[in-house]
Chains A and B, each alone.
Chain A
Amino acid sequence: MPYDSQEDTPDEALLVLYANGDAAAARALTVRLTPRVFSHAYRMLGDRAEAEDVAQEAMIRLWRIAPDWRQGEAKVTTWLYRVVANLCTDRLRKVRGIALDAVAEPEDDARGPVESLQEQARMDALQAALNRLSDRQRQAVVLRHIEGLGNPEIAGIMEISVEAVESLTARGKRALAAELAGQREALGYADG
């Protein structure tokens, strides 16, 4: 049976089905949303284990709110990004000072070892540079440039103005560029 056989059904409708006891909706939402939630948490925290805990906690909050979900008030993903951001901020406050820029271990996958290592090194470098941004800058940059959301949606998630989002992403990007400027060759980007 396909995991998400309801791929055309909007998240909000699946959430209503879930609240009505539909087991297939529970599976579909899990498979659809967990990777997004986890990825965002990972970008924010730079640590897989921590990100997994945050993803699980965020999804628990979604299951709990499902029966009271108000249709049309917010997108499920917007709500989840906000929850993830809050959970990450809480964790970062707790572990502040404990090697936030620790780079995650490269993980095996199906690509060739050299290519895989090079790509992993690039992603690790990006993550390490992201980790050095302020929490707000990192959140804005990740939502804008990696999750690909529009500024108004980011403003909704971060509960700030669109202008503030633009300012955060611009400053964040400048800081990232400065951070990565000396690593072009090391990351496999030829000059010119």
Chain B
Amino acid sequence: MEQTNAMLDELFAEARRNAEAPVSPALLARVLADAEALQPAPRILEAARPRGWRRFVTLLGGWPSVAGLATAALVGVWIGVAGSAGLIGGELGSDLLSLGQESVLADMDQSYAFLVD
């Protein structure tokens, strides 16, 4: 029995060496043809399209542009708020509020005087 077991182990070892019996090229070709026929089409990984406000930000040129725009807007508001009292109080401001275009131009620069005449 021991001898038979040893023979069996040798047979298994031999079978293991041949475990991957040569596969016929025809079978490989059939399997590969199936693989290609059933393979999903290549997926092109598109960058996710931005939606909503992210899309709006993208249209404006991204976050750096938005930051610049926001700064400009804040500065505009600040000038509007802080500068209005001074402008209205000054001569130029009151002229703007009460007079016509000609006196404003004349006040700004005498070289515009010929336009008034």
What B residues does A106 contact at CB under 8 A? none
Task: Contacts A173-B8, A180-B4, A180-B7 given; indicate if A21 touches B24 (C-beta within 8 A).
Answer: no
CB B15 to nearest CB in A, in angstroms, measures: 5
Interface flag for A27 (CB, 8 Å):
yes
C-alpha gap A173/B32 in the complex (Å): 36
Interface flag for B47 (CB, 8 Å):
no
Main secondary structure of the interface of B (DSSP, over half): helix
CB B2 to nearest CB in A, in angstroms, measures: 10
Task: Contacts A20-B42, A20-B43 given; indicate if A187 touches B7 (C-beta within 8 A).
Answer: yes
Interface residues on B, range: 20 to 34
**Binary contact readout B8-26 vs A (1 if CB under 8 angstroms, 0 otherwise):** 1011101110111111100
**Binary contact readout A131-161 vs B (1 if CB under 8 angstroms, 0 otherwise):** 0000000000000011110000000000000
Main secondary structure of the interface of A (DSSP, over half): helix
Interface residues on A, range: 35 or more
Binding site for B on A (CB under 8 A): 18-23, 26-27, 29-31, 34-36, 38-39, 42-43, 52, 55-56, 59-60, 63-64, 66-67, 109, 119, 122-123, 125-126, 145-148, 173, 176-177, 180-181, 184, 187, 189, 191
Binding site for A on B (CB under 8 A): 1, 3-5, 7-8, 10-12, 14-16, 18-24, 27-28, 30-32, 34-36, 38-43
- 10 additional A-B pairs beyond A55-B31, A63-B39, beta carbons within 8 Å, are A21-B43, A30-B28, A30-B31, A34-B27, A35-B21, A52-B24, A64-B38, A146-B15, A173-B8, A189-B3
